[in-house]
């Protein structure tokens, strides 16, 4: 749960993966809206009252940046953990997000770049590149006398493609994919080395982090883990 003191909005994340926004009045509480983008439960929330951006971390290993202040419905996905995201903190002065998770990773995200939304996955009964039928498309398999293929999706364009037409992998940092993900062959050719440049730094805390607090004044990060150990980190080399 997070609370914006100035506007009196409350942000609540739950186990269904949904985030609910409530407005606190003098003697009542009203529902503003709800939104959902996670496939797992929401495990962490972080609110930036200056840019009016909400960050949500989830057990599905992902982070979503909800641009509430932009009023365009923009939601940016960030993929940089191999286990559930358990705590988030934001450095307002440098526009850097710090995420920590059960994988022991501390990821520092540069949010001062022009990021892109991930496309919605398209539905199709056949590969949108070579037109080979997918395995449930019995009619096209019968008509073309071809064996049905498994469906995949290109993470860059969202098209439904077969394995042969999406044999390549690439990182797409500006779309939040710091790790290599499946892309179709034509998208792979269009991604430049400049577009593959990382927008986050990765650090191994060597313990399962359940809580984090960042002191922007000194540049110190406090983490606590399931191992009952509290660690204090000097983050000035990377958060500056």
Total Cβ atoms within 10 A of residue 29? 10
CATH code where residue 61 lies: 2.130.10.10
What's the CA gap between 66 and 61, in Å, rounded? 16
Same domain, 44 and 92: yes
In a domain, 203, yes or no: yes
Same domain, 161 and 213: no
**Placement of tokens 């883990």 in the chain:** 225
In a domain, 124, yes or no: no
What's the CA gap between 38 and 156, in Å, rounded? 19
Same domain, 15 and 69: yes
- Tens digit of each residue's pLDDT (9 = 90 or more) over 147-173: 777 889 999 999 999 999 999 999 999
pLDDT at 26: 83
Same domain, 186 and 225: no
pLDDT at 150: 83
Give the residues of the chain that fall short of pLDDT 70: 137
In a domain, 171, yes or no: yes
pLDDT at 140: 73
pLDDT at 80: 93
pLDDT at 62: 96
Number of folded domains in the chain? 2
Burial environment of residue 111 by CB neighbours within 10 A (0 to 12, 13 to 18, 19 or more): buried
pLDDT at 176: 92
Same domain, 176 and 203: no
- Tens digit of each residue's pLDDT (9 = 90 or more) over 54-84: 999 999 999 999 998 877 778 999 999 999 9
Domain that holds residue 61: 1-114+198-232
């Amino acid at each position: 749960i997070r609370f914006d003191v100035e506007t009196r909005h409350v942000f609540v994340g739950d186990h269904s993966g949904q985030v609910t926004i409530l407005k606190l009045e003098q003697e009542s509480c009203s529902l503003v809206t709800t939104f959902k983008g996670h496939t797992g439960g929401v495990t962490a929330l972080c609110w930036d009252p200056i840019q009016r951006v909400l960050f949500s971390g989830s057990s599905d290993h992902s982070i979503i940046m909800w641009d509430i202040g932009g009023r365009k419905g923009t939601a940016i996905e960030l993929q940089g953990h191999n286990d559930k995201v358990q705590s988030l903190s934001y450095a307002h002065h440098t526009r850097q997000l710090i995420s920590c998770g059960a994988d022991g990773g501390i990821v520092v995200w540069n949010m001062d770049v022009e990021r892109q939304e991930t496309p919605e996955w398209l539905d199709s009964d056949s590969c949108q590149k070579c037109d080979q039928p997918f395995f449930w498309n019995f009619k096209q398999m019968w008509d073309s006398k071809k064996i049905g293929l498994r469906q995949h999706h290109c993470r860059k364009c969202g098209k439904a493609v077969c394995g042969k037409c999406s044999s390549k992998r690439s990182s797409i940092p500006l779309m939040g994919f710091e790790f290599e993900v499946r892309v179709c062959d034509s998208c792979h050719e269009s991604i430049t080395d400049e577009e593959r440049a990382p927008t986050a730094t990765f650090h191994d805390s060597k313990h399962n982090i359940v809580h984090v607090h960042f002191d922007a004044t000194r540049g110190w990060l406090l983490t606590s883990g399931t191992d009952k150990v509290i660690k204090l980190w000097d983050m000035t080399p990377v958060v500056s």
